Structure 1
Amino acid sequence: MLSATTREFYESQLQQLSNAKRRRQCTTYEPLDSTHVRLNGKTYLMMASNNYLGLTHQPQVLASAQKAINAYGTGSGGARLTSGTYPLLPQLETQLACLKETEQALVFNTGYMANVGTISGLMETGDYILSDALNHASIIDGCRLSSATIKVYEHNNCEHLEEILKELPPTGKRLIVTDGVFSMDGDLAPLPDLVTLAKRYGALLMVDDAHATGVIGEGRGTAHHFNCSKDVDIQLGTLSKALGSEGGFVCANELLINTLINRSRSFIFSTALVPAAIGAAQQSLNLLTSDTTLYNQLHHNIEYMTQALLQQGIAVTHKTTATALVSNYQPTPIFPIVVGSAEKALRLSQQLFEKGIILTAIRPPTVPHGASRLRLTVTAAHQEADLQYVAHTLGELI
């Protein structure tokens, strides 16, 4: 039972968050399909999902998940190193390695666990990690757990990164780590320049493709998009975004994968993913690699939403070559509608909700103070009428 002092402490913490418009809570929606949910009998258009290819309700994906349940049951029963691996998992890992053009792959339970387990499994005290300032929280936490020395370079600033690399002592391993597509802004890492620096200074290079797999580079991700798959040592990703399932993965050479199997605590001590998630991911990969229809539809919808927002006078950062920060840029489904204060973001989110649109307010500490936003995401499953309605409504409210 909480003591009075402890209770007062937590209540005070929550009140401070409420006062700063930063308190969060879970809302329970009933998913109807890839783009609509229901709450209290009303249907809403979902514009905040990372289900980029709309595969969560695709009939073949559903059937593959059910087939896996029928064959192997509802749960895995234990960690892979203690109770074994059922056949679907190595099959999926082979598919993922092929997708990312690497020797091997290793599946984790979530993308978060993949980042935490990979960084802390490969790096240790005496090593150096160079991390982009806007990297995902899971990368940040993995860096901290590794006990390596962490150096943060300015977002996508390779000149600053090189300045840091030049000053490092000659001892210890070095790891440059970056998101491939940054989750809050939708921009791309300058991967070719990072490859050059990694080679020049003898560093490992790791890219987190959570928001790039299925989205850019013909669906293969950032390294393939920039034609440097063989030069990126570690490619991470998730099964839970564009692939419509659940889980994370890391792709690398045989040596690094074997090292993770023996050193990554989030892999070693976690019960393996359930068969349904693996079955669904396998079929999603089959669809992605055998047919470009969904991938092309996603990019059609990205362009359609870009033009619809521009017609409403709403900025579309990182969606045109004029606003791209890296060469060979490819637009992504993430549209950051930056509005400034957390209070304004919350107000707009509520107004949109009242008009049947779910568009979540993103506030500190997820983004910097003064950069609160609506994080709008487009999927292959959205209809043009949906996108036009959202753009028009935003134009009226902002």
Structure 2
Amino acid sequence: MCGSNDYLGLSTDPRVTAAAAEAASQYGAGCTGSRLLNGNLDLHEELERELADFFGKEAALLLTTGYQANLGAIGGLCGPADTVYVDKEAHASLIDAARLSRAKLQWFHHNDTEDLAAKLAQHSGPGGKLVAVDGVYSMEGDLCPLPELLDVCDRFDATLLLDDAHGAGVLAAGRGTAEHFGLTDRVPLITLTFSKAFGSIGGVVLGDEDVVEYLRHHSRSLLFSASASPANTAAALASLRIVRDEPWRCEAVLKKADHMRSELLALGYRTGEPGTPVVSLDTQDEIHTLLGWRRLMDTGVYVNAVLPPAASPRLRTSYTAVQTEEQLDRALAGFALARDVLGPVLTRGA
């Protein structure tokens, strides 16, 4: 499995599955209502407190999915008078959130702070300015230039929202992209999901207490959706505690991903930047992407075949803290066999 987002291997950890089973037994299979009405549990509030403490923010707001966390944050804070500036490679949930908020949507080039500054300089009117980026981009595996982004936001009085779905639980002993750069105090809003490193499902908005409290009463995706199930909530809480107590998992997944990146380069593949669990492999076009994916499947190696409109054609691979050396060697053998169908754009001298 080289296509999972279960970066720390926690979705099948016995402590996590036991916590989920116990919560389902105690509270039932679901909450059958929104948190505002009848779906709020002490378990939800306990997870919020521990998330805020772990990530170094004043408060946390738990939502049912990571997608809903972005919709709740942007939709709750922005309106028709505002402008949301979105990185062109940002996750679809940030784009949809901007559109649903009815704010003006303004793109800027991927990780291009000069283009962002130029767009912000053209802003006019009384409305607010929100900049929405990923911490680790899920398709390419590259980091956002967080220090430069914050400097631009400060210069133009804009608020930054950092979606750290693929950085939280992995970078900086699990504390994510903001902590990786030592800038947690400067990032006003952080969203993340439990469906990656935390092995469950759910989402959270982290920020100042007054902002989170405002969102608790103005986020439509929170107010009009059933709350996270007891099992998913307990699983996320158990995973959070494991991340806190076992930082070796974060180090292990990065080490294994960088090992695979190095070995894939040696095989002739073009890969992205080091330092994240995502290793993206260039492909020539859609047909070669599918041919390569099929060849890898035939050798027993699963990767993600990425096609437009999700992103440009590529094979997205990712790795976990609990994969063995033998498993990684088996995957590399599959990648070696797949080179003949992938074409010259993917491989050099193959």
TM-score normalized by structure 1? 0.83
Paired position in structure 1 for 2:153: 198
1:385 and 2:340 are equivalent in the alignment = no
Paired position in structure 2 for 1:208: 163
Larger radius of gyration: 1
Q: Which of 175, 198, 202 in structure 2 is aligned with 1:243? A: 198
User: Structure 1 residue 348: deviation in Å?
Assistant: 1.1
1:362 and 2:306 are equivalent in the alignment = yes
Equivalents in 1 of 2:92, 2:233: separation in Å? 25
Equivalents in 2 of 1:170, 1:201: separation in Å? 13
Equivalents in 2 of 1:374, 1:51: separation in Å? 17
Equivalents in 2 of 1:383, 1:80: separation in Å? 41
Equivalents in 2 of 1:84, 1:276: separation in Å? 13
Equivalents in 2 of 1:395, 1:115: separation in Å? 39
Kept in 1: contact 2:300–2:334 (CA 8 A): no
Kept in 1: contact 2:269–2:282 (CA 8 A): no
1:341 and 2:285 are equivalent in the alignment = yes
Kept in 2: contact 1:308–1:388 (CA 8 A): no
CA-to-aligned-CA distance 1:86-108 (integer Å, 9 cap, x gap) = 11100000111112211110111
What SS does structure 1 have at the residue aligned with 2:16? helix
CA-to-aligned-CA distance 1:51-75 (integer Å, 9 cap, x gap) = 0000011111111112212221111
User: Structure 1 residue 311: deviation in Å?
Assistant: 2.3
Equivalents in 2 of 1:355, 1:107: separation in Å? 41
| AA in 2 matched with 1:92 | L
Paired position in structure 2 for 1:376: 317
Equivalents in 1 of 2:90, 2:255: separation in Å? 28
Equivalents in 2 of 1:217, 1:78: separation in Å? 36
1:155 and 2:110 are equivalent in the alignment = yes
User: Structure 1 residue 377: deviation in Å?
Assistant: 0.6
Kept in 1: contact 2:301–2:334 (CA 8 A): no
The aligned runs of 1:39-50 (5 Å cut-off) are: 46-50=1-5
1:255 and 2:210 are equivalent in the alignment = yes
Kept in 1: contact 2:39–2:227 (CA 8 A): no
User: Structure 1 residue 161: deviation in Å?
Assistant: 0.6
Paired position in structure 2 for 1:120: 75
Kept in 2: contact 1:304–1:384 (CA 8 A): no
User: Structure 1 residue 293: deviation in Å?
Assistant: 2.1
| AA in 2 matched with 1:51 | D
Q: Which of 99, 112, 129 in structure 2 is aligned with 1:174? A: 129
1:332 and 2:276 are equivalent in the alignment = yes
Structure 1 unmatched runs, 5+: 1-45, 320-330
Equivalents in 2 of 1:176, 1:266: separation in Å? 20
Equivalents in 1 of 2:211, 2:284: separation in Å? 42
1:56 and 2:7 are equivalent in the alignment = no
CA-to-aligned-CA distance 1:292-332 (integer Å, 9 cap, x gap) = 2211221221122122212212222212xxxxxxxxxxx10
CA-to-aligned-CA distance 1:147-179 (integer Å, 9 cap, x gap) = 111111111011111111111115111101100
User: Structure 1 residue 395: deviation in Å?
Assistant: 2.3
Kept in 1: contact 2:76–2:215 (CA 8 A): yes
1:306 and 2:261 are equivalent in the alignment = yes
Structure 1 residues 166, 381: closer, same or farther in 2, change over 3 A?
same
Equivalents in 1 of 2:314, 2:265: separation in Å? 17
Structure 2 unmatched runs, 5+: 340-350
Paired position in structure 1 for 2:342: none
Paired position in structure 1 for 2:31: 76
CA-to-aligned-CA distance 1:191-235 (integer Å, 9 cap, x gap) = 111111111111111000000111112211111111111111100
Equivalents in 2 of 1:292, 1:216: separation in Å? 10
What SS does structure 2 have at the residue aligned with 1:117? helix
Kept in 1: contact 2:34–2:227 (CA 8 A): yes
Equivalents in 1 of 2:254, 2:3: separation in Å? 17
Equivalents in 2 of 1:283, 1:124: separation in Å? 36
User: Structure 1 residue 84: deviation in Å?
Assistant: 4.4
Q: Which runs of 4+ in 1 moved over 6 A?
A: none
Paired position in structure 2 for 1:290: 245
| AA in 2 matched with 1:294 | R
User: Structure 1 residue 260: deviation in Å?
Assistant: 1.3
What SS does structure 1 have at the residue aligned with 2:60? strand
Q: Which of 29, 35, 41 in structure 2 is aligned with 1:86? A: 41
State the identity %: 37
Equivalents in 1 of 2:256, 2:15: separation in Å? 23
| AA in 1 matched with 2:217 | N
What SS does structure 2 have at the residue aligned with 1:152? strand
RMSD: 1.1
Paired position in structure 1 for 2:346: none
Equivalents in 2 of 1:125, 1:117: separation in Å? 16
